[in-house]
Chain A
Amino acid sequence: MRLKGKVALITGAATGERDGLKGIGGASAWLFAREGAKVVVTDINDEMGRRTVKQLTDDGHNAMYVHLDVTGEDEWRRATIATVSKYGRLDVLVNCAGDSAGSEFPVETTTLQAWNRMMDINAKGTLLGMKHAIPEMRKVGGGSIVNISSMHGIVGTFTVTAYQAAKGAVRILSKAAAIQYAKDNIRVNSVHPGFTVTPLTASMFTKPDIHADRVKGVPMGRMAKAEEIAYCVLYLASDESSYVTGAELVVDGGVIAQ
């Protein structure tokens, strides 16, 4: 069991219903639980999050649900307190909550409102999560923070301008935090998924023309499953990656290697 005894908080993890299409957060919650972690599932979708946690606990895993809008600092305070008061510690944080909806525009037509929303959910949410998790991790002698960026935090595209900027912010924010907290044995890394079929993307990626267009650019010729990203998150969360910090792991079927 690769996360035995660890307590992990995962944002955007409601999408872990057993029979539904899983998101990266939901798939990570199951993988972490199977590897022995106590999992704090957080999300704004309370109904789905509670169902996911019920299925996890019905399966014999340790899990709890906490409502968390990642853009609110008070909510982060409450979530970390809830975690530590129930499980006694916090070892792993996965900043997975994210959204690209409403950012599908090039630079000229990107509204300030769309820009701010993308920056809040994707970038500010990551900052606040780290800010409130780090003191708890320091208390237990270290930990691992995994920030979900995107391949679009590394290369550009014709659309989702504000989303890309926000994911680029997550990428470099991860390195800043990695350098600052290495002395506390807190590792911080980013994951950069390529096209992944999740509840967030399914409505778009299952349209035949969009699917064909996206897959055309993928050397492996297919999209990722959320579980394939979750295994990367597990590697970075576990002590197997004990010398990895400030690094970026691209899981994209070869797209940006071209």
Chain B
Amino acid sequence: MRLKGKVAIITGAAAGVPGEMMGIGGAAAWLFVREGATVVIGDINEKQGRRTVAKLRESGGEALFQHLDVTSEQGWQGVVRETASRYGKLDILVNNAGIGILATVEETTVELWDAHMNVHARGAFLGTKYAIPEVRKAGGGSIVNVSSIHGITGSPTLAAYHAAKGAVRIFTKAAAIQYAKDKIRVNSVHPGYTMTPMTEPGFSIPDVMKAVMGRIPLGRLAKPEEIAAGILYLASDESSYVTGAELVIDGGVTAQ
């Protein structure tokens, strides 16, 4: 068991009900629980999040749902406090919550820009900020920020999403440098095209799917479980010398 005895918060992990399409957060929650971790799911989708937690518990794992809007400072303070008081510590944070709305630079409204920046970048910032004191108390730990290949290269149809994921990428390195002395590792994961409840509407448009598939050397979309396995590697002590790094899981898209 690669996460035995560890306590983890995963944001945007409500979509984790077996038999339904899972998101990256939901798949990570299942993998973490199977590897022995206690998992706190933070999400705005209470109904789905509670169903996921019920299923995780039925499987014999320890899990807890917490309502969390990642853009809210008070929300983060509450979730970290509840996690520490209930489970005694915090070892791992996975900042996974995200949104994605298609809009080019010209089409992007200030509202759309702010929404992306707030959920992705401010969310990862606040999560990291409030997790660090607890992780330090535990003697160190691991923070995994889910960025994207779109945090590394551009695309024809998105603007704010790229900027927000790019911010997450470099914010990760800043935090990694600053807290290495506390044995807190901070890394980013960069998924490629992954079939999740968030992306499914876009990928169900035949033209979009065709264009996307033409760009993937491995010739298929990722499953959320394949991204979760990368998150597990970075969350576990197996990556004890990895910090400030970026793990691209994209079937070869950005290697071209």
Contact = CB atoms under 8 A, between A and B. Distances in A.
B222 A219 contact: no
A185 B256 CA distance: 16
B219 A183 contact: yes
Contacts of A234: 238
A251 interface: yes
B252 A246 contact: yes
B250 A256 contact: no
Interface string B235-256: 0001111111111111110111
Given A219-B176, A241-B249, A249-B245, A179 B238 contact: no
B171 to A, nearest CB: 11
Contacts of B181: 219, 221
Nearest to A220: B180
Contacts of A244: 226, 230, 247-250
Interface residues of A, number: 37
B245 A235 contact: no
Interface in B187-239: 192, 217-219, 222-223, 226-227, 229-230, 232-233, 238-239
A47 interface: no
Contact of A247 (B229, B244, B248): B248
Contacts of B183: 220
Nearest to B218: A182
A251 B245 contact: yes
A185 B220 CA distance: 11
Contacts of A240: 229-230, 232-233
A254 B173 CA distance: 8
A219 B86 CA distance: 32
A158 interface: no
Nearest to A219: B180
A252 B218 contact: no
A186 to B, nearest CB: 10
B136 to A, nearest CB: 15
B233 A220 contact: no
11 contacts: A179-B255, A182-B252, A183-B217, A219-B181, A229-B241, A241-B229, A244-B250, A245-B255, A246-B256, A249-B245, A253-B243
Given A185-B218, A219-B177, A253-B180, 9 more contacts: A178-B255, A228-B240, A232-B238, A234-B238, A247-B247, A250-B245, A251-B245, A253-B243, A258-B173
Interface of A: 175, 178-179, 182-183, 185, 187, 194, 219-221, 224-225, 228-229, 231-232, 234-235, 240-254, 256-258
